[in-house]
A and B are shown apart, each in its own frame.
Chain A
């Protein structure tokens, strides 16, 4: 025997030695390389591809690992390597964890195409589910549920059920994450999966409960009633979850609150007068998460506060959101639309932070526009000076879209804050002389709507301002090149030619500058854009209607109309014909050719007042709706960021008018466990922490559970009834543990990281296990076990 074993050892030793030598020589070049060796896997030629077959069949783990790495490299290059499937599956039970991991990756990718071969590997996974190492158990479940072979649906359900009560939170987490995959594999398992999720919801470990929300969202997003008994616990547990779990639960709890809790009734000012205790609990316990380093969490909190509570509360969340602007340009780009959406609802919330939204020259274009939009929305009487200066600055930006928006914003300033109208107009007057078309065009367009608005409201005293604007435009008509702005300017001249009250020129009733504009534009008529030509015809008609007697004007008008009559563009010709027949009653001899007019007689001839009415009146200013809304998208959605509908179903439910019974949310946790009545230290913690203390296993004074404990609330089911009765009797004798059986597995599993002895019933140990739960939290009562 001894010699045999010595022989075996010697043989092994020599084999190891040979192996060492072989691999040393083979791999020393890798060591010489400054970087790792994996990059060579990317340069796989056809020959090496054939070699992979051999490598996979070889006995050496190293060869297999090498082959697997090569395969994975090819998968990532987008190459189809499903031909190796059979050989890869054989390695699924390899002892080498490294190989197995790569085999799993491969399997997940190709199992769908080779369901029969994939079935061969199922046994291994099932065996792995009982492995002592939780890592392997979780990995097996992950692959098992990831293999897209519908046949194994029921096996997967069994596996998930098994893992959902696993002592390791890591495995339970994997079980929760496997649930959605299983349901997409075979939807017929829905009822079983729901029961698993219900069980998982009782999980007490903050490590695994986060992913239960994912399972819940995937399986039964509408079964919010399942959350009744977990609502308060989850609110308090929020702080302890990992960041992704916080995100999922925040959204889930928000949905729950909107559906199940009574709507906070707001008084006239917008302050919430009566707020539900449970609602308050959610808002206050999530508030501390605003300090999270994960921007998505901060936003989710802000979203919850925005949709659950009052104006004053959202103001507290604003600094946290504004802080996000400085993290990275991507985050900045995403947060800006959200902030805009908030500022549309509460314009005052952002105004103290206005200088945060000043545009920097190297910002991305979307960010520039987003900032400008916000600056405009928070404009008010206090900050208009600074903002107007900014807008004027942005008008010189190299980006045309920004120029356009900022000039419009200047117009908006002038409209909303009357004190700065003059300043805005001055700025725009200098813009008109700019050498850049885009500035001039947009300025004229904005000026037009501004002038119109002012003149339409006769009660405003400073009517002279718009008229000076029009006269300036008239003088500068030669500089305004862009067709749209040119026609706009000409229209303004014609429309407001009669408003100049001072009688200076020879022409009665017409401003001094108006006929000159007609003269100058007639000279360039042939080269004008059709739109401009139409406006020249209009201008001629208006001036003739205002003063039909002046011969010079008549000649000028006739010239313009003649040009229009024989123009190439039929719109212009039509318009001229219309205008000419309109003017018959005012200036009978527009063209001097009486006979044609006489010939087509028979129509109605309008008097001069009527013509003026037709030409001038009812030109109401069209409110250019510059304040593009948020489109009704809710906060923290991609729809809001992108500006189009991304999903047909809106995530956020409407408030329920009444809300559900608060006693539904009562749990054994909320009613004071009798053990703690005697233990003094936890009591003191509970009584001092009123605010958003994250982990409290005893109730915080003011909430309903205490009330429910004293006056028996309507029971929802038998369990509740018995639980209440049990509590009442136990609190009298003051001993024993008040937790019922259904909680025990959850309790035990949560402590598994530390010690599992919570069931012994002793007062001391229960208190201790609670200490250790608290140990994982960020609470001030953290103590090291």
Chain B
């Protein structure tokens, strides 16, 4: 097998969990860990490491190996690949793995992994020879029991040992449901389905205007519905959704024909679809003119002097009614920067991370058409410092969507009950503002 996926989870450069390898020697995982550690320690900017690292020196049959790694929380997940395997395969797998772990444990961190290492080991059945085995959460739940409070209490009381495992597992048959992503025979006392729309604006703004600006949306859902409901979801403005990708449950033909999302939802949290918002005036891809306006303005002034420099930023909200949340402005000052001294306007705070040489300005909340400013100077060990050419601004806006996407109606067939439906939209932004 060419794709020898294995994973090593490690915070602070020590492996927590390694999966056993087939047909490789014991040094193989260590080699990859070393390569990653070397790359991490030799990178000039913190965490600026190539996600695909070539691992030298291991070729028994002319196949070179490489190490794909993803940082997630305080752990890094590694997947070595050997030979001419698409690294995307590894990344797709790692992502699925992270999703599953988050589904099981809530959050993914070194602590939770240590707590539930046996579950992780069982979940490892998802790669036996480097080929992902069962990755659909619903199927996996049949095979590997998620740790739950109830189960814990049962184990603790001791009855569980008999009750849970013997009877519980006895009637579990994998793949028993005709629909791979949905368990058979689900029952809920209150049937409900919620849709969460998260839209993220990604933009680059230059001194002369917006260079590129796009909005990507994601619809998450968390249905708790009994039986096998067949849902039909229509949007008020389906034409403004482009570059879509769907959960496997969505019938593509229906979407292509009628722009209707028709699906039998999986049980539990899942991402229904992802899309790119096409502003109504410009349907073509090539016209960057008609864009979503960036909802704030930044007035940056950066002056570079010998052995240092100073900057002056003012952020003004262009929203008329809504509040900006969690606004963060980051600015990289260049290597060897120190002695940062800033004055931030009332209600905001700033900090400087000497490891990454970044100034971080936390604004928390910005009221409609409110203005905040940050003024500061820094000293650099370089004679002519070279700071980044852009400020990075990240923010959240609650209960707002750029595309004003709305669910027109949600119809359900196949079951008789009336589900409770909910819809919520949130927006985020990540803007590179050049000076």
Q: What residues of chain A have their CB less than 8 Å away from a CB belonging to chain B?
A: 16, 19-20, 22-24, 27-28, 30-31, 35-39, 41-42, 61-62, 65, 69, 72-73, 75-76, 78, 95-98, 101-102, 105, 108-109, 133-135, 138, 142, 146, 168-170, 173, 177, 180-181, 184, 206-207, 211, 214, 218, 239, 242-244, 247-248, 288, 291-300, 319-320, 322-323, 326, 328-331, 333-335, 352-353, 355-356, 358, 360-362, 364-366, 386, 389-390, 393, 396-398, 435-436, 636-639, 641-642, 644-651, 693, 753-754, 772, 775-776, 778-780, 782, 784-785
Say yes or no: is B131 at the interface (Cβ < 8 Å to chain A): yes
Say yes or no: is B330 at the interface (Cβ < 8 Å to chain A): yes
Complex: chain A residue closest to B47, CB-CB: A364
Q: Quick one: which of B65, B81, B159, B243 has the most chain A CB within 10 A?
A: B243
Q: Mark B107-149, 1 if CB is under 8 A from A, else 0.
A: 0000110111110011011001101110110000011000100
Contact sample, A vs B, 23 pairs, CB 8 Å cutoff: A30-B152, A31-B156, A69-B118, A76-B18, A78-B18, A134-B173, A211-B131, A242-B180, A244-B131, A248-B131, A328-B91, A358-B211, A361-B432, A397-B388, A637-B86, A638-B81, A651-B84, A753-B178, A772-B178, A775-B178, A779-B251, A782-B262, A785-B178
With a cutoff of 8 Å between Cβ atoms, the chain A residues found around residue B179 in the complex are 775-776
B169 and A36 contacting across the interface, CB-CB below 8 Å: no
With a cutoff of 8 Å between Cβ atoms, the chain B residues found around residue A333 in the complex are 50-52
The CA-CA distance from A239 to B334 in the complex, in Å, is 49
The CA-CA distance from A218 to B202 in the complex, in Å, is 43
With a cutoff of 8 Å between Cβ atoms, the chain B residues found around residue A294 in the complex are 92, 96
With a cutoff of 8 Å between Cβ atoms, the chain B residues found around residue A358 in the complex are 204, 211-212
Within 8 A of A (CB), among B312-370: 330, 332, 334-335
A645 and B178 contacting across the interface, CB-CB below 8 Å: no
B156 and A28 contacting across the interface, CB-CB below 8 Å: yes
A35 and B117 contacting across the interface, CB-CB below 8 Å: no
The CA-CA distance from A330 to B54 in the complex, in Å, is 15
With a cutoff of 8 Å between Cβ atoms, the chain B residues found around residue A331 in the complex are 88, 91
Complex: chain A residue closest to B257, CB-CB: A780
A435 and B68 contacting across the interface, CB-CB below 8 Å: no
Given A76-B17, A365-B50, 11 new contacts (CB under 8 A)? A23-B157, A24-B157, A214-B131, A329-B51, A352-B284, A356-B214, A386-B211, A390-B211, A398-B388, A646-B65, A780-B254
B84 and A35 contacting across the interface, CB-CB below 8 Å: no
- Minimum C-beta distance from B147 to chain A (A): 6
B175 and A169 contacting across the interface, CB-CB below 8 Å: yes
Q: Contacts A360-B390, A361-B388, A639-B84 hold; do A784 and B228 have CB atoms under 8 A apart?
A: yes
Say yes or no: is B250 at the interface (Cβ < 8 Å to chain A): yes
B390 and A355 contacting across the interface, CB-CB below 8 Å: no
Select which of B92, B114, B286, B387 is within 8 A of A39 by beta carbon. Answer: B114
Within 8 A of A (CB), among B172-202: 172-180, 202
Select which of B70, B114, B128, B212 is within 8 A of A142 by beta carbon. Answer: B128
Select which of B64, B285, B383 is within 8 A of A646 by beta carbon. Answer: B64
B88 and A295 contacting across the interface, CB-CB below 8 Å: yes
Q: Contacts A135-B143, A646-B84, A650-B84 hold; do A19 and B158 have CB atoms under 8 A apart?
A: yes
The CA-CA distance from A31 to B245 in the complex, in Å, is 43
The CA-CA distance from A474 to B234 in the complex, in Å, is 69
Q: Quick one: which of A390, A393, A693, A779 has the most chain B CB within 10 A?
A: A393
- Minimum C-beta distance from B45 to chain A (A): 8
A362 and B432 contacting across the interface, CB-CB below 8 Å: yes
Q: Contacts A73-B117, A76-B117, A648-B62 hold; do A782 and B251 have CB atoms under 8 A apart?
A: yes
B118 and A38 contacting across the interface, CB-CB below 8 Å: yes
Say yes or no: is B281 at the interface (Cβ < 8 Å to chain A): no
With a cutoff of 8 Å between Cβ atoms, the chain A residues found around residue B158 in the complex are 19-20, 22-24, 27, 62
Say yes or no: is B42 at the interface (Cβ < 8 Å to chain A): no
- Minimum C-beta distance from A506 to chain B (A): 40
Complex: chain A residue closest to B118, CB-CB: A69
Select which of B48, B96, B286, B414 is within 8 A of A364 by beta carbon. Answer: B48
The CA-CA distance from A78 to B257 in the complex, in Å, is 55
With a cutoff of 8 Å between Cβ atoms, the chain B residues found around residue A396 in the complex are 386, 389
Say yes or no: is B398 at the interface (Cβ < 8 Å to chain A): no
- Minimum C-beta distance from A394 to chain B (A): 8
- Minimum C-beta distance from B217 to chain A (A): 11
Complex: chain B residue closest to A248, CB-CB: B131
- Minimum C-beta distance from B106 to chain A (A): 11
A293 and B247 contacting across the interface, CB-CB below 8 Å: yes
Complex: chain A residue closest to B50, CB-CB: A366
Select which of A41, A109, A326 is within 8 A of B117 by beta carbon. Answer: A41
Say yes or no: is B295 at the interface (Cβ < 8 Å to chain A): no
B332 and A398 contacting across the interface, CB-CB below 8 Å: yes
A295 and B92 contacting across the interface, CB-CB below 8 Å: yes
The CA-CA distance from A434 to B24 in the complex, in Å, is 53
- Minimum C-beta distance from A712 to chain B (A): 35
The CA-CA distance from A39 to B114 in the complex, in Å, is 5
- Minimum C-beta distance from A82 to chain B (A): 13
With a cutoff of 8 Å between Cβ atoms, the chain A residues found around residue B170 in the complex are 133
B230 and A782 contacting across the interface, CB-CB below 8 Å: yes
Complex: chain B residue closest to A434, CB-CB: B384
Say yes or no: is B246 at the interface (Cβ < 8 Å to chain A): yes
Complex: chain A residue closest to B69, CB-CB: A330
Q: Contacts A24-B158, A293-B246, A398-B386 hold; do A170 and B174 have CB atoms under 8 A apart?
A: yes
A647 and B64 contacting across the interface, CB-CB below 8 Å: yes
With a cutoff of 8 Å between Cβ atoms, the chain A residues found around residue B11 in the complex are none
Say yes or no: is B83 at the interface (Cβ < 8 Å to chain A): yes
With a cutoff of 8 Å between Cβ atoms, the chain B residues found around residue A322 in the complex are 243
Select which of A22, A293, A366, A641 is within 8 A of B274 by beta carbon. Answer: A293
With a cutoff of 8 Å between Cβ atoms, the chain A residues found around residue B165 in the complex are 96-98
Complex: chain B residue closest to A319, CB-CB: B243
With a cutoff of 8 Å between Cβ atoms, the chain B residues found around residue A360 in the complex are 204, 390, 392, 432
B286 and A352 contacting across the interface, CB-CB below 8 Å: yes
The CA-CA distance from A753 to B175 in the complex, in Å, is 7
With a cutoff of 8 Å between Cβ atoms, the chain B residues found around residue A637 in the complex are 84-86
- Minimum C-beta distance from A74 to chain B (A): 11
- Minimum C-beta distance from A31 to chain B (A): 6
A184 and B23 contacting across the interface, CB-CB below 8 Å: yes
B117 and A38 contacting across the interface, CB-CB below 8 Å: yes
- Minimum C-beta distance from A389 to chain B (A): 8
A242 and B156 contacting across the interface, CB-CB below 8 Å: no
The CA-CA distance from A333 to B50 in the complex, in Å, is 8
The CA-CA distance from A207 to B118 in the complex, in Å, is 27
B86 and A636 contacting across the interface, CB-CB below 8 Å: yes
- Minimum C-beta distance from A559 to chain B (A): 34
The CA-CA distance from A630 to B83 in the complex, in Å, is 18
The CA-CA distance from A644 to B62 in the complex, in Å, is 12
The CA-CA distance from A396 to B304 in the complex, in Å, is 13
Complex: chain B residue closest to A294, CB-CB: B92
Complex: chain B residue closest to A396, CB-CB: B389
Complex: chain A residue closest to B166, CB-CB: A95
5 A-B pairs with least C-beta separation: A23-B158, A361-B390, A648-B62, A355-B212, A647-B83
Select which of B159, B172, B246, B334 is within 8 A of A133 by beta carbon. Answer: B172
Select which of A109, A365, A651 is within 8 A of B20 by beta carbon. Answer: A109
A753 and B285 contacting across the interface, CB-CB below 8 Å: no
Q: Quick one: which of B45, B64, B216, B334 has the most chain A CB within 10 A?
A: B64
Q: Contacts A170-B175, A291-B252 hold; do A646 and B83 have CB atoms under 8 A apart?
A: yes
Select which of A170, A243, A361, A776 is within 8 A of B135 by beta carbon. Answer: A243
- Minimum C-beta distance from A80 to chain B (A): 10
Q: Contacts A134-B174, A361-B388 hold; do A36 and B252 have CB atoms under 8 A apart?
A: no
The CA-CA distance from A654 to B177 in the complex, in Å, is 42
Select which of A133, A247, A645 is within 8 A of B173 by beta carbon. Answer: A133
Complex: chain B residue closest to A368, CB-CB: B48
The CA-CA distance from A776 to B177 in the complex, in Å, is 10
B288 and A355 contacting across the interface, CB-CB below 8 Å: yes
Select which of B22, B202, B211, B384 is within 8 A of A181 by beta carbon. Answer: B22
Q: Contacts A181-B129, A650-B84 hold; do A644 and B390 have CB atoms under 8 A apart?
A: no
Q: Contacts A398-B332, A753-B178 hold; do A291 and B129 have CB atoms under 8 A apart?
A: no
Within 8 A of A (CB), among B364-414: 383-384, 386-390, 392, 414
